[in-house]
Chain A
Amino acid sequence: MEDKSNPAITVSKKEGKEELHKSSSAGSATHPGTFNSGRRNFLKLFSAGGAVAMMSSSPARAAQAVKPTKKDEAMGVLVDTTLCVGCRQCEEACNDANKLPKPKRSFDDDSVLDTHRDTSPREWTVVNRYTLKSGAQITRKQQCMNCVEPACSSACIIRALEKQPDGAVTWREDLCLGCRYCMVACPFDMPKFEYSKQVPRIRKCQFCFTRQEKGEQPACVEACPVQALKFGRRGDLVEEARKRIQANPKGYVDHIYGEHEVGGTSWLYLASVPHEQLNLPKMSDRDYPQLTSGAESTVPAVLLIWPALLAGFHFFTHDKDETNEHGSHQQDSQEGKR
């Protein structure tokens, strides 16, 4: 609700540059009007946080400054692992579309599947083969889940990672400090860091947001020869997944991974076996930004209450003639500041 009342903190992709302009002029404070409005926004932000802190019954939402468009209207991909044949054409398409360095072993080389791989700065999506106890083998594509409420973005000190209205979670090179808190925060360990570079970048699947802007599908979806990947509005995909489960209840476990996990993800997985067996770990439904919003909402309280309390205590217990350390004008200037 605060998000609506305070548009200044809602950043959308297209307004990104203007936003920077605005904040820089407010920072220099050459124009008295700008400064005032800046301060008002600042106070509003704090009072909103304080109000949230007091209403402990409603979940504090202070930590999510970027509100995506409604969860189900944003785009997503449904991955049906029962259809995946492990051909790795999605990997190749991703490599091309994002101009990533070519791997040593070609995309036709199936022996790559013999060892488990994680995504890396140069491989934003990987297909892994899981051998079940029954001996059956299932292949599954992994990439950034592009969460609905991304932990990485809420962690980012300068919001270089941001949730776009179309669903993608993107990274901006011109902002990132390389602190790697996004990597600590991500429950899926998806942001990858270029440790061997002097000027390192965070690398991960960004849901082909430039292709999406042009009205194209993500490269991997387009390349999939067996329609194991389906691109569409997230809400429609959830419905589609339900239909598939209903039509073939024996062929699927009755769970859509990503529908509720960590508050929902843009990428959704269907599987014939419990998802943990495909290295999709059990996750709480609670979205990650919520985890720190409570702690963050105490900031305004500390900022307001501590100084008043401590100064009050000091002046209450000390005789001015005795300490002779604080002139009365100091007191005035501090009051002026508040």
Chain B
Amino acid sequence: MKKIIRLLIGEPKKLFTPFNLISGLIVLVGLVLIGIRLAKGLGAVTNLSQTTPWGLWIGFDVMSGVALAAGGYTLATTVHIFGLKKYEPLVRPAILTGFLGYVFVVLGLILDLGRPWRMPFIMIFPRGVTSVLFEVGMCVAAYLTVQLLEFVPAFWEWLQWDGLRKFWGKLVIWLSILAVVLSTLHQSSLGSLFLLAPTKLFPLWYSPYLPLFFFVSSIAAGLSMVIVESSISHRLFSYRLSPSSHFDLDDLTLGLAKGAAVVLYVYFFLKLIGVAEQGSWKLLLTPYGYLFLAEVLGFVALPCVLYTIGVRSRNVKLVRFTGAWTVIGIIFNRLNISIIAFNWQLHPHYYPSWMEITVSVTLVTMGIWLFRWLVNRLPVLSQEKPQVGTNTFKEFMAESV
């Protein structure tokens, strides 16, 4: 019995840390708000209106969530398809981050849908097959499954089911290819969604290249997210690494930064082509134009330069800062397109209610909890016996604490 409790919640004494208390409070409030939303409808907690049907839960939870969860497929491609094996230690945490990201994207979506119980029917009666949203829905559902399949080897290792683990090793390349195909499709389709709003989205952001922008920027977001996530988890969970399996995280971080810089350069010039194609240079000198410049210069061009400097001078700290900066920039871009520059002619403009924000924070917090819970039990950060805790069920049972 004691063992089961320890498996589920760890040391009960260590449960009441400041982080747990504060995040617990947020989640508690968030759960109450979710209850109100489910009982009384979207209007009870959100600032959504007849002219602004999509708010923070789509703009942040879904649009930004999907982009930031792109680390899973970018790293899996790097390691399993392009064969850059030295990044292998980062793959599993990246896939876990991606998988949990998508889980909470779907949860956020369920809260935002008016009639979520109808969701399975898009697969049972696929009627809107030419709808962009249909493509997004099907790909997200399929990719969620693929990510689960990519992550389960950690469970097989925990259970020490070696036969199954070996079999899964053979699937890895195909799962990676599926991940790339599905990600290409839905990352870009999230951009395509806004092609139907030429009169509502500010012309600087509206472009026929929106799908391309979303896809390319998701790669930069994914790589930057892995830089950030690996740096944080290797600091916080250093005890979960095995003493013998030290790999040079700084070296890997610089390598990822190189990739991210190249992608961001491409993305920057694509954005310029986008403006040229629409012929909207003049609009740069309007208030929304300044916002656009802030995004493209401050959060695309600047990180390009910073990444380059960081890689050249092997300044890992700068690279990590740039990683976080890029992540913020991608969120900024997704919020601009789906909320801030959307319905730009509308007064008063939508802004999220504190309740919407709390629910979004709640979802992120629960994602972090789940990440921590799994990292502390399964062989995620390192496949060998860690300094503290155990990586397999057998070891856990044998441990006498």
Contact = CB atoms under 8 A, between A and B. Distances in A.
Interface of A: 9, 11, 19-20, 23-24, 27, 45, 62-65, 118, 120, 151, 154-159, 175-181, 183-185, 187, 189, 192-200, 281, 283-284, 288, 291-296, 298-299, 302-303, 306-307, 310-311, 313-314, 317-318, 323, 325-327, 330, 334
A141 B361 CA distance: 44
A158 B127 contact: yes
Contact of B48 (A195, A294, A318): A195
Interface stretch (B190-198, B228-236, B347-355): B190-198
A20 B114 CA distance: 23
Contacts of B176: 310
A314 B199 CA distance: 44
A176 B118 contact: yes
Contacts of B43: 195-196
Contact of A65 (B41, B42, B129, B192): B129
Given A184-B54, A330-B174, A159 B196 contact: no
B146 interface: no
B181 A306 contact: yes
B53 A24 contact: no
A106 B280 CA distance: 48
Ordered nearest first, which 3 A-B pairs have the shortest CB separation?
Answer: A178-B114, A195-B43, A180-B53
Nearest to A304: B181
A42 B232 CA distance: 46
Nearest to A203: B50
A327 B188 contact: no
A155 B131 contact: yes
Contacts of A181: 53, 131, 133, 193, 196
Given A65-B129, A310-B81, A317-B83, A158 B196 contact: no
A177 B114 contact: yes
Contacts of B194: 184
B147 interface: no
A296 B132 contact: yes
Nearest to B167: A327
Given A23-B127, A65-B130, A296-B132, 11 more contacts: A9-B130, A157-B128, A178-B116, A189-B51, A196-B44, A199-B115, A292-B132, A295-B132, A303-B185, A310-B176, A318-B83
A254 to B, nearest CB: 24
B41 A197 contact: yes
Interface in B174-209: 174, 176-178, 180-181, 184-185, 188-189, 192-200, 208
B171 A11 contact: no
Interface in B121-136: 121-122, 124-135
B370 interface: no
Nearest to B173: A326
A128 to B, nearest CB: 15
Contacts of A175: 118, 121, 125, 127
A9 B196 contact: no
B124 A27 contact: yes
Given A176-B118, A198-B39, A325-B172, A291 B130 contact: no
A71 B83 CA distance: 55
B50 A193 contact: yes
A184 B135 contact: no
Contact of A177 (B113, B192, B208): B113
Contacts of B42: 193, 195, 200
25 contacts: A11-B127, A155-B131, A158-B118, A158-B125, A158-B126, A158-B128, A177-B119, A181-B193, A184-B194, A184-B200, A189-B51, A192-B50, A197-B41, A200-B42, A292-B196, A294-B208, A295-B195, A296-B192, A299-B185, A306-B177, A310-B180, A314-B81, A317-B82, A325-B169, A330-B171
B211 interface: yes
Contacts of A183: 50, 53
B13 interface: no
Given A157-B131, A314-B173, A200 B115 contact: yes
Residue with the greatest number of chain A CB neighbours at <10 A, chosen from B128, B137, B208:
B128
Contacts of A189: 50-51
B2 interface: no
A92 B181 CA distance: 53
B312 interface: no
B40 interface: yes
Contacts, number: 195
B170 interface: yes
B53 A198 contact: no
Contacts of A303: 181, 185
Contacts of B130: 9, 62-65, 154, 293, 296
A288 B200 CA distance: 13
A64 B130 CA distance: 7
Contacts of B80: 314, 325
A154 B135 CA distance: 12
A306 B50 contact: no
A195 B40 CA distance: 9
A281 B125 contact: no
Contact of A157 (B48, B122, B197): B122
A194 B41 CA distance: 8
Contact of A23 (B54, B114, B126, B185): B126
A192 B49 CA distance: 9
Contacts of B115: 176-178, 199-200
Contacts of A298: 211
Contacts of A155: 131-133, 196
A149 to B, nearest CB: 12
Interface string B103-119: 00000000011111011
Contacts of B122: 157-158, 177
B170 A45 contact: no
A76 B121 CA distance: 33
Contacts of A178: 113-116, 118
Contact of B129 (A45, A197, A313): A45
A194 B114 CA distance: 9
B200 A295 contact: no
B181 A180 contact: no
A197 B114 CA distance: 9
A157 B134 contact: yes
Contacts of A317: 82-83
Interface string B29-61: 000000000111111101011110110000000
B196 A184 contact: yes
A89 B129 CA distance: 41
A193 B171 CA distance: 45
A158 B48 CA distance: 23
Given A303-B181, A330-B174, A24 B51 contact: no
